[in-house]
Amino acid sequence: LVITIPDDMVEQTRLALLDMALERQKAISADHAMVNEFWEVYEYLEATGHGKAVVNHSRDAQRIAINLNHFAARAAQF
């Protein structure tokens, strides 16, 4: 079976497939919800330090060093 498909339908289909592919890529590229929650808590805790590190124990400004027991204890306080 061969049928003629109008150019506008082909273009609409192409755009729909492109949108679906971009959404899928975005979904699989995103961090897991637990990872996002961890970083949100980290940023919140660090913001409570008024410029001083709260849970980041690194002396190097380019790195983050976290003691997970300390992190959990500090997070539990809020």
pLDDT digits (tens, 9 = 90+) for 21-67: 999 998 888 888 899 999 999 999 999 999 999 999 999 989 999 99
Would the pTM count as exceeding 0.85? no
Domain for residue 61, yes or no?
Answer: yes
Domain for residue 1, yes or no?
Answer: no
pLDDT digits (tens, 9 = 90+) for 63-74: 999 999 999 999
Q: Does residue 19 carry a pLDDT above 80? A: yes
Domain for residue 57, yes or no?
Answer: yes
Domain for residue 44, yes or no?
Answer: yes
Tell me how far apart the alpha carbons of residues 26 and 76 are, in angstroms, rounded to a whole number: 32
Q: Does residue 1 carry a pLDDT above 80? A: no
Quick one: pLDDT at residue 49? 93
DSSP structural state of residue 32: P
Count: domains in the chain: 1
Domain for residue 52, yes or no?
Answer: yes
| Domain span at 53 | 33-76
Quick one: pLDDT at residue 45? 97
Domain for residue 58, yes or no?
Answer: yes
Three-state secondary structure call for residue 66: strand
Cα 29 from chain centroid (whole Å): 8
Q: Which of 37, 36, 46 is nearest to 66 (CA)?
A: 46
Domain for residue 22, yes or no?
Answer: no
- Residue at 45: amino acid letter: L
